[in-house]
A and B are shown apart, each in its own frame.
Chain A
Amino acid sequence: MSNLLTGAEMVVRALQDQGVETIFGYPGGAVLPIYDALFHQKHIKHVLVRHEQGAAHAAEGYARSSGKAGVLLVTSGPGATNAITGLTDALMDSIPLVCITGQVPTHLIGSDAFQECDTVGITRHCTKHNYLVRHVDDLARVLHEAFYVAQNGRPGPVVIDIPKDVQFAVGAYFGPHKVEHKTYKPRLEGDPDKIAQAVEMMAAAKRPIFYTGGGVINSGVEASHLLRELVGLTGFPITSTLMGLGSYPASGEKWLGMLGMHGTFEANNAMHDCDLMVAVGARFDDRITGRLDAFSPGSKKIHVDIDPSSINKNVKIDLGIIGDCAHVLRKMVELWRARRHVASAEPLAKWWAQIDQWRARKSLSYKASKEVIKPQFAVQRLYELTKARDVYITTEVGQHQMWAAQHYHFEEPNRWMTSGGLGTMGYGLPAAIGAQLAHPDALVVDIAGEASILMNIQELSTAAQYRLPVKVFILNNEYMGMVRQWQELLHDGRYSESYSEALPDFVKLAEAYGAHGIRCSDPAQLDAAILEMIDTPRTVIFDCIVDKTENCLPMIPSGKAHNEMILPDHDAEIGSVIDAPGKMLV
C-alpha cells in the first residue's frame, strides 16, 4: 500500500504536505533515520546550522519574515537542550515554530540512556504544546496537528519528540486535510456588539490613541493594511511596541514612534494623557507600561487580542474583544464607514496640538560629533543608505537594539526581527540567516553589539556554507552597553564585568570565516564604508567603532511612570534618578 511509510519518511512527507521548503537542523544518533529520509528527496532544503540554538533563531527569522511556520530538526539530549533558548524566545514573541527532536528508543526511555533527556518535560514550559510520539500510527496526526497548533490562535513553538524506534517503524500516513483538532479552536471573530461599542467609544473620544503590538504582524499583512485604513479614517495617533514596528509606516503622519522604556516622549505622554486607548495585539508588558499604578490613569481601555488571557492580565480593561486582529479591524473599519463617523474634529485637533508640543522636545536627539561615530548616527546612516532597498533588519539585544528600533524606520510589516519578550543576545545573526533564506535577493542586516554577536558567532560558518550575503553591522562600544548604562543608573558607575575584554579582531574573524570584514571609526568615512558593505555580495562583518559611553535615551527609568522620562537633554547625573523600589526591578 502506498501510504505505508516509516516514521522517518512520514516526517519528511508531512513537511512537504505542509508546504515547508526550508528546515534548520543538526544531526545526531537519535535523528539519523530522518536525516536518511531527507537524503532521498529534493523538495525540502535542509540548512545545517552550527548550534541548535542557531537553528531555532534561524527558524524564527524565517517565520517572522515570511509569515510561515519555521521548522527545526535536532537530535535527542544536548540537541534538544540547546534548542531551549530559541523555543522560549519563540514562545515569548508568539512565533510559530515546529521543532522535531529525536529521542532514545521507547524501550530505553526512563533508563538514563545515552543522550536521553526528558524533552517533553523540559519543554513543557517553553512551548505552546508538545508531543512524545510513542506509536508510529499517531505520527501523521501529530505532525499535522503540530503545524495547526503552532500557526493558529496565538502562534507559538510546538515540539514533537520522536523515539528512534518510531522513526524506523512502518505505519499508515495520511495528509493534512484529515486533521481537525478536538479541543483547540481559537476564536477569530470578535463579538459584534462589543466591536460596535468600541466604535462608539472611538467616535466619542477626545484624546484617543492606538497602541499596537506584534499581534497585528502575526495576524498577517492584511491586518496591517486594515490598521492603516482605520488610522486614516479616524485620524487618531498611533504608537507601537518593539514587536509591532512596521505594521503602521514610520513615515505615516499619525505615527508617534515606539512607546515604552525607550520609546519617544510623545508616544509615552500620549499614552499617559489619553482618554481612550485602543490596544490591538499588544500585551501591556512591563517594558510598555512602566509603573502600573500610574499607567494611563485617565483613560478607558479597549483591548483586542486573540488570547483571552492577555486581557485584564496586567491592566484593567474596560472593553475586551477576543478575536483575530484582522477580523476585528475589518469590522471596525466597516462600522466606522457605515455609520459615517467623523472623529470629533475640534478636540482631536487640540489633542494633536498637544502631541506636537511633545514632539517638539525631539526626544530621540543626541549630541552629534565629528570625532567619534555616535551609535545613533550609525543607525541613521545605515537607514538612509539602505531604505530604498528590499531590506530586512534583525538585531541582537542591548543598546544597539533600542537604537535600531528608534532610528531605523519601517514601512512594512515582517521587516523587523528582534527578540522582544526574552531579550536573547545571540538572536540576530541566526535570525538574519533565516530571513535571508526566506528572501534570497533581499538585503538582510543584523544590527549587533560586539558582546551579543559572540554568542552565536559560529553561525558565520552557516552563512558561508550557503553563501548567504547577510551583513552583520556591529555597533562596537567595547561594553555590554545596556548593562553599563544600568550600572551607571543603579550602581554608581561600578562597571562590574561589563567591559568587553579581549575582543577578537572582527575584520580578521570575518576573513577566517570566508566573509568580508570592514572597520570604520571615522564619521566622515562612514557612508562610504556602509556602501561598501551593501555592495559586497558576500557575508560582511562591519566593525563600527562607536562612542563607548553613549547612553540609550530617552528612557522611562524602572519603576517610573510614562510621564517621568529621562530625556537626552537631562543635565543632572542619571545615577540619582531611580529610587530604591525601582532598583529591584529588571
Chain B
Amino acid sequence: MNAPAAPLSPYSSALGKSNIEVHTLSVLVDNEPGVLARVVGLFSGRGYNIESLTVAEVAHAEHLSRITIVTTGTPEAIEQIGHQLERLVPVHKVTDLTLRGGAVERELAMIKVAGKGPERQEALRLADAFRARVVDASIESFVFELTGNVGKIDQFIELMRPIGLVEVSRTGVAAISRGPNPIG
C-alpha cells in the first residue's frame, strides 16, 4: 500500500517544500571591503542558491553599491533570505523585485563564434535578428555583444552552438523598478 512519504527530516522545516520560485533581489549596500564576501558567505553558509549575481558601485560619493541577486527557493525561504540579508550591518535595503512586480531586468553577454563561409553568414543574420552587435571580428570569428533578458540570451547562445560557439561571458542580471520611484 502507499504509505505517506516520510518527511525529509523531522527537524526540517514544515513550511512549503514544493513550490520553488525564481526571485530577483536588489540589495543596496555600503561599498566597503568584505561586503560582497558577507553576502555570498550568507548564501553558502545557509544553503541558499545564487543563480546570478552582479555588483557595482552606484553612488560614488555615498559609497553605495547595488548587488542584484537572482535566487531560487520557496516563498518562505526567499522571505527568510531577505531578512537574513537585512541582518548584515552594511546592508541598507533589500527589495524583492519579483514580489513587487514590474521590474526591468537585463543582462549583457559577449559571445564568441568561430566559423567560415556560410556559417559566418548565418551567424551574422541571426545576430541581426537579435540586435546583437559585433564588437570584434577576425577572418574566422566574431564576438557579439547582446543585451536582453536572460531568456533571450539563452536562446541566442543555443542558436550559435551548432554554428560554432566558442565561449560566452555573461554579466549576470541587473535590475531596476519601472516608473518614477526608486527601488530604495
Contact = CB atoms under 8 A, between A and B. Distances in A.
Interface range, B side: 20 to 34
A347 to B, nearest CB: 27
B90 interface: yes
Interface string B28-52: 0010011001100100010000000
A308 B10 contact: no
Interface string B45-79: 10000000000000000000000000000001001
Interface string B5-42: 01101111111000000000000001001100110010
Interface in A570-586: 581-582, 584-585
A121 B10 contact: no
Contacts of A308: 83, 86
Given A125-B41, A312-B79, A183 B13 contact: no
Nearest to B89: A129
A560 B79 CA distance: 28
Interface residues of A, number: 36
A293 B80 contact: no
Interface in B133-168: none
Given A125-B45, A183-B91, A307-B87, A295 B14 contact: yes
A125 B39 CA distance: 11
B92 A291 contact: no
B90 A183 contact: yes
A107 to B, nearest CB: 16
Contact of B87 (A121, A309, A559, A585): A309
Contact of B83 (A181, A309, A314): A309
Contact of B11 (A120, A128, A309, A559): A559
A229 B4 CA distance: 46
B83 A293 contact: no
Given A125-B45, A183-B90, A316-B15, A292 B10 contact: yes
Interface string A101-120: 00000000000000000001
Contacts of A183: 30, 89-92
Nearest to A582: B10
B84 interface: yes
A584 to B, nearest CB: 7
B3 to A, nearest CB: 13
Contacts of B83: 307-309, 311
Nearest to B42: A125
B11 A286 contact: yes
A367 interface: no
Given A125-B45, A292-B14, A120 B34 contact: yes
Nearest to A293: B14
Interface of B: 6-7, 9-15, 30, 33-34, 37-38, 41, 45, 76, 79-80, 83-84, 86-92
Interface of A: 120-121, 124-125, 128-129, 132, 149, 154, 181-184, 286, 289-293, 295, 307-309, 311-316, 558-560, 581-582, 584-585
